[in-house]
Amino acid sequence: MGREHHARLPRTRARFRGATGAVLFALLLLALAAVPAGAGADGARGDGVSSDWASGNGFRSDRFRKEAARAVRAHERARARVDRLRESDASPTEVKDAERRRKAVRAGLWDLLWATGRNSGDPVAVDPSGQDSRCPFGDRSHPPERRAHPWTAPTRRYWLSAGYAAKGSRWAHRHTGQDFAVDSGTPVYAVGAGTVRATTCGDGFGNQVVVRHRDGYFTQYAHLSRIDVRKGGRVTAGQRIGLSGATGNVTGPHLHFEVRITPYVGSAVPPLPWLRRKDVQVTGAPALP
């Protein structure tokens, strides 16, 4: 285990509390120990992206996947409790304590997935700016002239194809987002204001953008043909972040839209209910699993 990884452990250990946290911390140690001895300073192998991850199967360990899913459910329960407390006019102390517990679960999940992502070659973890992979960047987009609703749908004139948790031969386990079937070259928009966390290409998600929003959640826009934003840039709701395409592990052009608790694979939550909580109604029924 490298010096950089050891430096993270004292801070990380304090984040993991309770039964779920103890298991996640143990898995984190295994993930860090598994980083190849010949890896570069960023924990990646020579080419930066492993063949497993490039084929869309990077997060394939059942043990890690199940524990990550358990932590995701724990986080969403904690988030729902915070919302209920705020709506019921609970005391500030009670709300603060519930929010602290939610953040602790997210922090533990974040460190676990960061470690597994670095080891597996997830581009979001090893090359978040997309510079090493020479992603197809277009000119930087600008915010829309008219300020839209604080939240919006990620694209227009679509029909819903594969939904969240759908089964299929194209995925190692279950589908982790919502697919919007659109022609290649269709504009793709940020669903809300935020900061671009990653712009990457070269794995099963093809060309992708990950945005962090003010509520702490992340949205992913994958299989793009062009990327019109840069890592670290700010975006507003309805701002174009790229064009749809058919890059990565696909059978045809579409937008893969995902909502995550962290920037990394393994922390997805159902995207359509999340959008509905933002008063965004996505029309049309998703395809059956």
Give tens-digit pLDDT for 123-135.
898 889 887 778 9
> From CA 255, how far away is CA 150, in angstroms rounded?
21
Token pair of 132 as six digits: 């090493």
59 Rama sector, left if φ>0, alpha if ψ -120 to 50, beta otherwise: beta
Q: Quick check: 64 pLDDT over 90?
A: no
Q: Quick check: 274 pLDDT over 80?
A: yes
> From CA 214, how far away is CA 197, in angstroms rounded?
12
Q: How high does pLDDT run on average in the chain?
A: 80
> From CA 283, how far away is CA 159, in angstroms rounded?
8
CA distances from 217 to 67, 75, 275 (A): 20, 12, 12
Beta carbons of 267 and 232 less than 8 angstroms apart: no
> From CA 176, how far away is CA 26, in angstroms rounded?
25
- Please, where are the H alpha helices in the chain? 3-15, 18-33, 51-54, 62-87, 92-120, 123-126, 271-277
Compute the C-alpha angle 118/1/46, nearest 5°: 45
Q: Quick check: 167 pLDDT over 80?
A: no
List domains and CATH numbers for the chain.
Answer: 3-126 (no CATH), 159-277 (2.70.70.10)
pLDDT in tens, 218-261: 999 999 999 999 999 999 999 999 999 999 989 899 999 999 99
- Where are the strands (E) in 168-265, listed by range? 178-181, 187-189, 194-203, 206-213, 218-227, 234-235, 240-244, 255-260
**Residue 33: how many CB atoms within 10 A of its CB?**
11
Compute the C-alpha angle 33/127/173, nearest 5°: 65
Choose from 37-46, 168-177, 217-226 the range with maximum mean pLDDT.
217-226
Which is more confident, 215 or 121?
Answer: 215
Q: Which of 8, 57, 56 is nearest to 31 (CA)?
A: 8
